[in-house]
Structures are given as structure tokens and as C-alpha cells.
Amino acid sequence: MPMRLKRPSPCCWSNMGCRRERGFDILGRLFRATGELIALLLRTTGRCRLQHLQHRKQEAMQNKRYISGRRIGIAAGLAGLLLQISAVSSPGAEYENSVVRVLVTAQHYDAFLPWQKTQTRSRQGYGVVVRDDLIITTENLVRNHTLVQVQKTQSGRKLQAAVEQADAATDLALLRIIDIDDSIELEPMELLDHLDDTASIELVQFDETSAIQHGKADVVNTSVVNLPVAVGSVLSIRVLSD
């Protein structure tokens, strides 16, 4: 005998429609809750990212002010200590064999991916000859270096150098010339034992043609200051140039 299917009554269809609507309503609530959760996570991540970038920017500004302060208080004053250039000694002396240009190729580590490095960058500064093959310069110049070269005034020849020692606290570095020979004339400068608070010094630099230029400066303050980002203190000499 054939089996007959019983047709659902209108009441059954109504119950099924209600259950379907309730199911869609529950799914809609879940989707809305999921969307709100994702939006909350994105906002939180964005705020954390923004705070991290602002913190890094503040650190960069502090480091920039710190390095700039050290350049004025230490590097410029240290130049007077190292070069022994005062108004009493010999203001018309020549420094072609005692002051060199330091050329550095460096690669910094990526702050977000520490196992990777950033693009190669070049920078340059100055150094003072303290022995036939030794040159003293600043540590921030040779930091994260991959290649260091020195160049005399009005000379196209570049000599490769190695960083013997570097100290970030005092911002000093010692370079040794690798391929030095007798044809390279270098004249070491003497180190001063002390510097008077009222001494006059002479600042030396290279111009666009790699020729020596110099100007006078006066020592206005000598003090021992605490390092802002490290434990310890350092001698700070502030000068006023013309």
C-alpha cells in the first residue's frame, strides 16, 4: 500500500518560520559581536602602535638632543684639548697632516626586525692624528660601521681604517690605519694636560674643496656633567665660536 506523506499544517510552517527567524537573529548578533570585537582589537592595536611610535619619536628626539649637546660640550671642547691650538701657541699653524676626514659606511639594525639591517648609509666627520697610524674621532660617527676610511686634506686617496676601540658613554673612538706606508705624511698632535677656563682655541674643518679652514673660539665653561642615558659622568667643555 503506497505511503502517503502528511502535509504540514499551517501552524507547523509558522513554527518553522519562527525558528528560522530566531536562528538568523542569533547569527546576526554573533556577526555584530564579532565585528565589534574586531573593531575593538583594531582600535587597541592602533593606539598601541601610535603610542609605540610616539615613544620612539621621543627617544629619538632625546638622543638627538643628547648627541647635539655632547657635540657642543665634548667634541668641540675636546678638539681644543687634542689639537693644542690656542692663541698663545701658533694661530697660523698648518694642520694638513694632523686633521683628516673620516668617511664611514654604516648599516643600522631594524628596530622592529632586530635580525635584519636597514639600508646602507654614508656619513663623514673629522679625526685627529695622535700617532703615526692612530686617529681619534667620535663614537657616534663610526657606530654600526661596515667600512671606515680616512682622507687627508686636498687628497683623493682614501685609506682604510679599523676601529680599535669605541666608547658610547664618552663618545670617543680610536681608529688604526690599515694600509699606511712611508708616502703618507701624518703629523701627530700632542695631548694637553689641562685647559684654562679662559683659553682661546681654534676650530678646524674642511671646506667644499677639501681645503683646511679654521676659526677662533673661546672656552666659556668647563664642568663635569652626568650622562643622561648612562651611568657615569664626563668632562664637558663649552666653547663659543665666532
The CATH number for 117's domain is 2.40.10.10
In a domain, 45, yes or no: no
In a domain, 11, yes or no: no
Q: What percent of the chain has pLDDT over 70?
A: 58
3-state secondary structure the chain: CCCCCCCCCHHHHHHHHHHHHHHHHHHHHHHHHHHHHHHHHHHHHHHHHHHHHHHHHHHHHHHHHHHHHHHHHHHHHHHHHHHCCECCCCCCCCCCCCEEEEEEEECCECCCCCCCECCCEEEEEEEEECCCCEEEECHHHHCCEEEEEEECCCCCCEEEEEEEEEECCCCEEEEEECCCCCCCCCCCCCCCCCCCCCCEEEEEEECCCCCEEEEEEEEEEEEEEECCCCCCEEEEEEEEEC
In a domain, 46, yes or no: no
Q: Tens digits of per-residue pLDDT, 204-230?
A: 777 776 777 777 888 888 888 887 766
In a domain, 19, yes or no: no
More confident residue, 115 or 57: 115
Dihedral pair phi/psi, residue 30, rounded to 5°: -65, -45
Ranked by mean pLDDT, the top range of 15-24, 46-55, 140-149, 211-220 is 140-149
Give residue 77's pLDDT band: very low, low, confident or very high (50, 70, 90).
very low
More confident residue, 189 or 21: 189
Range of the domain at 118: 54-241
Q: Is the pLDDT of residue 151 over 80?
A: yes
> For residue 65, what pLDDT is reported?
44
> For residue 147, what pLDDT is reported?
94
Q: Tens digits of per-residue pLDDT, 112-148?
A: 887 888 889 999 988 989 888 899 998 989 998 999 9
In a domain, 9, yes or no: no
Q: Is the pLDDT of residue 158 over 80?
A: yes
In a domain, 28, yes or no: no
